[in-house]
Amino acid sequence: MQIVLHIGTDPQNPEYLGAEIEFVIGDEKLTIDKTSAIYVPKGVKHGPVTWKSVERPHIQMAIVLGTGSLREANPGGHR
């Protein structure tokens, strides 16, 4: 299972992400334009992630829970 965070960096408006991101989870395309967290259950296909626009820096952080090794956490072999 995985939690994917998209975090805006404007201290005056922390909900403002400063980007529009398309995130595919299962067969559904999500459009993300606010600070958010997405829970991805174990075994659910997800990706790709596509930045449609970027207005200011922001943070994307993936937290992988319940893995025993880097290989299990990264089955796609991304570097």
59 belongs to a structural domain = yes
> Is residue 13 one of the residues assigned to a domain?
yes
Look up residue 27 and give its two tokens.
């067969």
pLDDT over 80 (residue 75): no
Is the whole-model pTM more than 0.95?
no
Q: Is residue 79 part of a domain?
A: no
User: What 3-state class would DSSP assign to 45?
Assistant: coil
Give mean pLDDT, residues 46-62: 94
Nearest to 62 by CA among 37, 44, 41: 37
Position 12 scores a pLDDT of: 96
Residue 21 near residue 35 (C-beta atoms within 8 A): no
Note whether 38 and 29 are within 8 A (CB).
Answer: no
Which tens digit of pLDDT belongs to each residue from 12-39?
999 999 999 999 999 999 999 999 999 9
Q: Is 28 domain-assigned?
A: yes
Within-domain flag for 31: yes
- Report the pLDDT value the prediction gives residue 49, as an integer from 0 to 100: 93
Q: Is residue 9 domain-resident?
A: yes
Classify residue 55: in a domain, yes or no.
yes
Which residue range forms the structural domain that includes residue 28? 2-73
Residue 78 resides in a domain: no
